[in-house]
Structure 1
Amino acid sequence: MHIRRLSTDNRMSQAVIHRDTVYLAGQVGESMEAGIEQQTLETLQEIERLLVDAGSNKEHILSVTIYLKDIERDFAGMNAVWDRWLSAGVAPARATVEAGMCESDILVEMSVIAAVAEQ
């Protein structure tokens, strides 16, 4: 059984590929001082980059779990960016929950499972 890991350190890998499935660690944006829209955009850009590195893309996302620091305040702003980013007809299974974040400035984190793109 072959397992490939990307961007690995002692604690975690940013992506793990097993057979035809890609598992991404929770991803966040870089601009911690930014609002929900910018953090969401940066998070999605990082997800897209990791998926490409793993042999997949956003059209192959199977499932995403979205963690929001304040779901009441940020759900609409996050969804506005998500809706523009995601192509029509390929919406994955999705859950969105409110969660405590490991750093106080993080507003959104996303964890993704995707299929490897057919080659």
Structure 2
Amino acid sequence: MNTSAIQATGAPKAVGHYPHARRVGALLFLSGIGPRDPQTNAIPGNVYAQDGRLLDYDITAQIHAVFANVRAVLAASGARWDNLIDVTVYLTDMARDFATFNALWAEYFPDPARAPCRTTVGIDALPTPIAIELKCIALLED
């Protein structure tokens, strides 16, 4: 089977030793993508205390950033936003952030019949102080 790993220069560096995506036949599997800025590695909307503790975050800023990072990986892989077929969403505060995520999702995918399938999971933490991460699968066109 034909497989190839993709590293996207327009997306933030991976937190571990893995590719941004892997193509397997006509499917593209994206590793978990967060909202970190690809140039600075900063997390949009995070507010820190002087001692470095995270005080607050702006989920709207992080949602827009994570969608931009997914687009960058898709583009580097030869795919488009419309090629997404399945998205798993990880939120660190489901009670606080789900409604905002749902509203922005509807802006990015206005037609539910054309939107990818989606699962949203509430989790305790992610490897860096981010509030959201996406795991995506896309169908590539030949």
What is the TM-score normalised by the length of structure 2? Answer: 0.75
Gap change, CA 1:117 and 1:110, over 3 Å in 2: same
How far has the Cα of 1:73 moved from its partner? 0.4
How far has the Cα of 1:87 moved from its partner? 4.5
The structure in which a higher percent of residues are strand is: 1
Three-state SS of the structure 2 residue aligned to 1:13 is: coil
Q: 2:116 matched to 1:110?
A: no
Q: 2:114 matched to 1:90?
A: yes
Kept in 2: contact 1:63–1:112 (CA 8 A): yes
The structure in which a higher percent of residues are helix is: 1
User: Paired residue for 2:18, among 12, 18, 25?
Assistant: 12
Root-mean-square deviation over aligned CA pairs? 1.8
Per the alignment, residue 83 of structure 2 pairs with: 60
Aligned equivalents of 2:110 and 2:24: distance in 1? 25
Per the alignment, residue 11 of structure 2 pairs with: none
Aligned equivalents of 1:50 and 1:102: distance in 2? 20
Structure 1: gaps (5+ residues): none
Q: Could you give the per-residue CA deviations for residues 49-102 of structure 1, whole angstroms, max 9, x where no partner exists?
A: 111211211111111000000001000111222211125231111100111211
Number of aligned pairs? 117
- Percent identity, aligned pairs only, is 25
Aligned equivalents of 2:79 and 2:141: distance in 1? 5
Comparing 1-10 and 74-83, the one that deviates more: 1-10
Comparing 62-71 and 76-85, the one that deviates more: 76-85
The structure showing larger relative contact order (alpha-carbon pairs under 8 Å, at least 6 residues apart) is 1
Comparing 71-80 and 30-39, the one that deviates more: 30-39
Kept in 1: contact 2:31–2:136 (CA 8 A): yes
Q: 2:49 matched to 1:25?
A: no
Kept in 2: contact 1:58–1:86 (CA 8 A): no
Aligned 1:33-72 pairs, distance under 5 A? 33=46, 34-72=57-95
Kept in 2: contact 1:69–1:101 (CA 8 A): yes
Kept in 1: contact 2:88–2:120 (CA 8 A): yes
Kept in 1: contact 2:5–2:22 (CA 8 A): yes
